[in-house]
């Protein structure tokens, strides 16, 4: 069956905005996605799509007539609310929790499947949590997906973002000896040791990594510091959380070795999570078709996304979505209705 005639620009814009608001107003913070998964499945089933419950709040849907070769993928969960529920539509934007990351993208996916566009759509939970809690990697291990290409609909400002960085989280512990703060020479201040280590890491330059003609930047940052016993006690222990982003082409093991070298002799480093990077996949014919379909600007994905999980499972995958990267996780999060419309139209053209 051919794809249904496209509605007018204004009708489609209104539909996408309303669908985005509908999804925002069903709370779906990480680990609490079941209600939204059930709602999405119900909407698609009522619209005539084939809907498969893959377990663990993972839902796969596609038009009844076909098993498409392209998979659109998006996560159901959001970060915790910041007084940004319920949502609202105002002045060309949909406002609310997850609007850009990524309920707007889910709305585009739903409307494309309902319009019988030639796509399968995968909705999955717990993307906003550490990789150890991923629902996608276990799904890819237990279920066979017969698709040639994956579009992960993360926020990309309507551009195509190729590949992604690897992501290491680590705990950096500094040890000293406690004592009275009036006689610090009788102690060994762990916070002072931490300050030396943190300053050294902060002084390390970002390293440009060129992959498939795109420049990614490897960066290490301290994102949290804890320490101290009392106002008059020299502390014997301080900890810092380190986040290290590494470029495509570097294995997780190589990245860990590099981070250990960067922190050597300055505290004890323990790796607590390591999510691999992903190649750009720009040489895939469907990536080139997608770029041409929307005359899309191409940029490196200076972040980690589920593209890495798909790449590890053997799929060519890219990032393309309507969300605004600057809006993700903001208290005032929003998405432009024009952005929703653009993503829908690009994917319509891509599927034709």
Kindly report, residue by residue over 270-291, the tens digit of the pLDDT.
Answer: 999 999 999 999 999 999 999 9
Pairing type for strands 179-180 and 233-234 reads antiparallel
Measuring CA to CA, how many Å separate 167 from each of 59, 73, 96, 130, 253?
26, 20, 27, 10, 12
* 134 and 271 Cβ atoms separated by less than 8 Å: no
Q: Is 53 considered catalytic here? A: no
Q: Is 127 considered catalytic here? A: yes
The one catalytic residue among 77, 101, 154, 236: 77
Give the pLDDT band (50/70/90) at residue 8.
confident
Which pLDDT value is given to residue 130?
Answer: 84
* φ, ψ for residue 254, nearest 5 deg: -65, -40
- Asked whether residue 4 carries a pLDDT value surpassing 70, the answer given is no
Measuring CA to CA, how many Å separate 319 from each of 71, 136, 178, 324?
12, 16, 50, 13
Backbone dihedral region for residue 149 (phi beyond 0: left; psi -120 to 50: alpha; all else: beta): beta
Mean pLDDT of 294-300: 97
- 142-187 pLDDT per residue, tens: 999 999 999 999 999 999 999 999 999 999 999 999 999 999 999 9
Give the pLDDT band (50/70/90) at residue 6.
low
* φ, ψ for residue 213, nearest 5 deg: 80, 0
Write down the number of H helices and E strands in the chain.
9, 18
CA 284/CA 311 separation, integer angstroms = 13
Strand partners, 246: 166
Q: Which CATH class is domain 166-274?
A: alpha beta
Q: Token pair for residue 31?
A: 């680990």
**CATH of span 9-164+278-351:** 3.40.630.10
What order of strands is seen across the sheet that includes strand 207-211? Answer: 207-211, 214-227, 237-246, 166-175, 268-275
- 68-107 pLDDT per residue, tens: 999 999 999 999 999 999 999 999 999 999 999 999 999 9
Tokens 């779906």 — which residue?
28
Give the pLDDT band (50/70/90) at residue 137.
very high
Give the pLDDT band (50/70/90) at residue 65.
confident
- Asked whether residue 330 carries a pLDDT value surpassing 50, the answer given is yes
One DSSP character per residue, 214-252 reads EEEEEEEEEEEEEE-S-TTEE-SEEEEEEEEEE-TT--H
CA 62/CA 39 separation, integer angstroms = 16
Pairing type for strands 160-162 and 207-211 reads unpaired
Query: What are the extents of the domains in the chain?
Result: 9-164+278-351, 166-274
Residue 137 Cα to chain centre, angstroms: 14
Q: Token pair for residue 322?
A: 């309507």
Which pLDDT value is given to residue 1?
Answer: 44
Mean pLDDT of 33-41: 98
Q: What percent of the chain has pLDDT over 90?
A: 94
The one catalytic residue among 101, 111, 127, 309: 127
Sign of CA dihedral 315, 245, 136, 323: negative
């Amino acid at each position: 069956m051919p794809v249904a005639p496209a509605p007018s620009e204004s009708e489609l814009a209104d539909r996408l905005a309303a669908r985005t608001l509908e999804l925002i107003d069903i709370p779906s913070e990480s680990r609490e996605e079941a209600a939204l998964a059930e709602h999405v499945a119900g909407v698609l089933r009522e619209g005539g799509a084939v809907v498969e419950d893959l377990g663990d709040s993972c839902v796969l849907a596609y038009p009844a007539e076909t098993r498409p070769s392209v998979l659109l993928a998006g996560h159901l969960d959001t970060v915790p609310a910041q007084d940004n529920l319920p949502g609202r539509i105002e002045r060309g934007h949909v406002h609310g929790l997850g609007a850009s990351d990524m309920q707007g993208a889910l709305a585009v996916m739903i409307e494309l499947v309902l319009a019988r566009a030639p796509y399968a759509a995968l909705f999955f939970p717990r993307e906003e949590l550490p990789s150890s809690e991923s629902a996608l990697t276990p799904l890819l291990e237990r279920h066979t997906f017969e698709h040639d290409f994956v579009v992960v609909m993360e926020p990309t400002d309507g551009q195509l973002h190729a590949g992604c960085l690897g992501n290491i989280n680590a705990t950096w512990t500094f040890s000293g000896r406690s004592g009275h703060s009036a006689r610090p020479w009788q102690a060994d201040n762990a916070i002072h040791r931490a300050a030396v280590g943190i300053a050294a890491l902060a002084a390390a330059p970002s390293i440009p990594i060129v992959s498939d003609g795109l420049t990614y930047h490897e960066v290490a940052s301290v994102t949290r510091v804890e320490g101290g016993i009392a106002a008059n006690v020299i502390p014997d222990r301080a900890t810092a959380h380190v986040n290290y982003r590494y470029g495509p082409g570097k294995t997780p093991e190589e990245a860990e070795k590099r981070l250990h070298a960067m922190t050597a002799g300055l505290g004890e480093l323990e790796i607590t999570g390591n999510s691999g990077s992903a190649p750009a996949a720009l040489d895939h014919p469907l990536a080139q078709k997608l770029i041409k379909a929307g005359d899309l600007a191409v940029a490196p994905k200076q972040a980690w996304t589920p593209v890495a999980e798909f790449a590890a499972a053997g799929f060519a995958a890219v990032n393309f979505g309507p969300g605004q990267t600057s809006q993700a996780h903001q208290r005032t999060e929003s998405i432009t209705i024009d952005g929703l419309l653009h993503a829908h139209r690009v994917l319509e053209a891509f599927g034709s």
